[in-house]
Amino acid sequence: MTDRLVRLDDDALGAALRDLATAVDWPASGAIASDGPDIATRVRVRLQDAPVARARAPWRPARRAIILALAALLALAAVAGAVGLGLPGLRIFQGGSPVSPPPTLAPSASIPTGPPGSTLGLGRLTTLADLDAAAGRQITLPSDPLLGPPDAAYVDPLKGDQVALVWAPRPDLPPTLDPGVGLVLMSFDGLIEDEYFGKFIDSGAVLEPADVGSMDGYWFSGAPHIFFYEGNGGGFVDDDRRWVGQALVWSDGTTTYRIETSLPEADAIRIATSLE
Amino acid sequence: MSWRAVHIEDADLITRARAGDVAAYEGIVRRYQDVALRTAYLVCPETDADDAVQDAFLKAFAALPRFRDGSPLRPWLLRIVANEARNRRRSAGRRQGLAMRAADADPSPAVDPGPEGAVMAAETRSELLAALGSLRDEDREVLGARFLLDLSEAETAETLGLPRGTVKSRTSRALGRLREALAATAGADR
């Protein structure tokens, strides 16, 4: 039989392959499988569990003011870029705040239940054992002895498989603006072509260049700032905007990292360099 | 249901999904989940295919505002699926391999084995699948898209991110290499 296949011309061999399609043991999407919901159901559940995932029609009234405010800052962003305020995949915006700041910077007495960081919209919770596979790349953990292993890990496929490692507060690790979070270390591919992340610096925030080992970075302090990212074509994923306290952002040339912490800058830099 | 009716329905679901209607998007996913899963199965290890499709549909949801109205939805979705599956293939490396299997042979096929292109014997199916699985990624993908998924040249081009002319030439070369793989199998059996 194989000999006969070898002698077939292109059309006949193509027909044999089409016939073969009916004989392949294709995986089931779940629609006809008996072992759980189909892919459509699982996707719907994941979308409902991740408010950041909402697709948006452009120029909905509720977003208009935000987009206009950010658009007004594009000139400032260009200036920022001209003076080097940017890292691969990251744009830093400076100017007035497009939304009201949080009512208080003091940590709330109420600590959310669930894994640390579960209310921050960081993506899908995963285990350290599965982290590399979920992110599609090898994730290096900081070796700084202050931290130890993270208490929770998240991967967000909607943001280029952004990884977030979260440590719960401890006596030696004060809480951030989120009372259930002591430190967040995020990383994302800084070379993604169709989207970039942005930091919006409120007028009260202080931005300083920082040397992170051999890498360039920035230290954000003072008033809280907003973190957001923008998809191609101006599709701001503004559900993800949230107030962030002190933060260190740096890049190794391919990956951009961000640490949110209430620790001093020197401690954040020490933790950052422990990734090298 | 005519193609036009399906197309209009897609457009309606897209409009609703863009406005945040998750149930409408679920309808889109359910319509294309089977071909999406088969696409991923052609590209990455089977163990990753399901996750690749789920993540691809999540990315597609976020990208819906960039979908060009009036263009066909299926190849646009399948391109996102194929890209996601390629990412996972790169992550998995070649260790796990890509092992398409033939379903259990029907002991009493409804159609007698006949000339080329008709129902093949189970043994021949397995040999053809093995030969297809032995091809390099780009050859297996283009033959899989064109013949196993039965996509048009235009759909194959968009799904795989290739110029349409490249699909035609690559398909021809891939069929030649499939023959070589089959010939090698036949020679080894003698």
Tell me what ipTM this predicted complex has: 0.82
Distance CA B93, CA B74 (A): 28
Chain B residues with CB-CB distance to A43 below 8 A: 25-26, 29, 54, 57-58, 61
Which residues of chain B are under the pLDDT cut of 50?
Answer: 1-8, 95-97, 105-119
A203-217 burial, b for 16+ CB within 10 Å, e for fewer? eebebeebebeebeb
- Report CB contact under 8 Å: A43, B118: no
pLDDT at B66: 81
- Report CB contact under 8 Å: B18, A39: no
Interface contact A12, partner B, CB < 8 A = yes
pLDDT at B7: 45
- Report CB contact under 8 Å: B117, A23: no
Asked if residue A204 lies in contact with residue A103, where contact means CB atoms within 8 angstroms, the answer is no
CB < 8 Å & 24+ apart, contacts of B68-77: B69/B11, B69/B14, B70/B11, B72/B7, B72/B155, B73/B10, B73/B14, B73/B28, B73/B32, B74/B32, B74/B35, B74/B155, B75/B151, B75/B154, B75/B155, B75/B158, B75/B159, B76/B158, B77/B28, B77/B32, B77/B36
Among the partner-chain residues A1, A19, A27, the one whose CB lies closest to the CB of B46 is: A27
pLDDT at A69: 34
Query: pTM of the predicted model, to two decimals?
Result: 0.51
Task: Select from B93, B19, B172 the least CA-distant residue to A9.
Answer: B172
pLDDT at A114: 82
pLDDT at B98: 54
Asked if residue A181 lies in contact with residue A261, where contact means CB atoms within 8 angstroms, the answer is no
Strands A205-212 and A225-231: unpaired
- For B29, name the nearest residue in chain A, comparing CA atoms only: A40
pLDDT at A98: 42
Residues paired with A201 in a beta bridge: A94
Distance CA A129, CA B65 (A): 35
Interface contact B169, partner A, CB < 8 A = no
Dihedral sign from CA coordinates of B25, B29, B30, B31: positive
Asked if residue A12 lies in contact with residue B188, where contact means CB atoms within 8 angstroms, the answer is no
Distance CA A235, CA B160 (A): 25
Stretch 92-151 of chain B: residues touching chain A, C-beta under 8 Å: 100-105, 116-125, 127-129, 132, 143, 146-150
Which residues of chain A are under the pLDDT cut of 50?
Answer: 31-34, 51-86, 88-89, 93-109, 191-203, 228-241
pLDDT at A5: 81
pLDDT at B99: 56
- Report CB contact under 8 Å: B58, A158: yes
- Beta-carbon contacts of residue B113 (< 8 Å; ≥ 6 apart): B119, B120, B121
Residue in B16, B182, B185, B189 to test binding to A, most A beta-carbons within 10 Å: B182
